[in-house]
Amino acid sequence: MTETRPDLIRWALIAAAIVALIAAYALLPVQDWAEAFRRWLGGLGAAGWVAFIVIYAVATLCLVPGSLLTIAGGLAFGLWAFPLVLVGATLGAGISFLAGRYLVRDRVADRIDRNDRLRAIDGAIADDGWKVVGLLRLSPAIPFSLQNWALGATRVAFWPYLLATFFGIMPGTLLYVWIASLGAGGGDGGPLRWVFFAVGIAATLAVTVLVGRKARAKLAEKGLSEA
């Protein structure tokens, strides 16, 4: 019971947050705010590009859902938002990773070292860091901003992490930017949306299998059972 209660509390908080977001979208002028943000960025001209990158990086660090800013960027800059989002998201991911490494890693390191299974998973991520990061970026299983902090607490190296992030977020970024750029015409992305969705699901399964297999191998090396 002591193990399940924190989980129940955690899921209750997540559910409450989701309900709050839905209520905020329904009751608050969210679309008007997004349009005002779009007009403001567009009015800045070239300086709006730099402002957008900085805002995106800071928002990523603060765990703001990246999809919201990606869509706003697509509305403001059209397909030109694609490289801007890539730079802003990668910059924010790098800062969040370093913050997670130096603010969180030390706090969880002792717990990882005391738990054979957690240590095995951490080692699996360290061994195949760029693969795991790349698959996670394609996967919708964990929000992008949370991934950055969480991966900072693992032993994955910084530069492989950053490169895998840059290339891994390309498909999803292109999808959101493209749909947003078509927003004025009422498009919804068509079949391509489902293609990217299928890729995301496949990536979720792949990252689960990869990390699980590597973790089991490390446990087996130490003569530990999975029970």
- Supply the pLDDT for residue 227: 41
Dihedrals phi, psi of 138, to nearest 5 degrees: -80, -20
- Supply the pLDDT for residue 23: 66
- Supply the pLDDT for residue 210: 63
pLDDT averaged per 10 residues in sequence order, the chain, 227 residues: 52 60 63 73 81 93 84 81 95 94 77 69 74 76 80 88 92 79 54 60 61 56 46
Q: For helices 158-168 and 81-103, what crossing angle results, to 10°?
A: 150
3-state secondary structure of 133: helix
Distances, alpha carbon 176 to alpha carbons 8, 60, 70, 127, 180, in Å? 33, 16, 6, 32, 6
Q: Among 96, 59, 84, 48, which Cα is nearest to 169's?
A: 84
- Supply the pLDDT for residue 19: 64
**Amino acid, res. 110:** D
- Those residues whose C-beta lies under 8 Å from the C-beta of residue 130, and which sit 6 or more positions away, are 156, 160, 161, 163, 164
- Supply the pLDDT for residue 60: 92
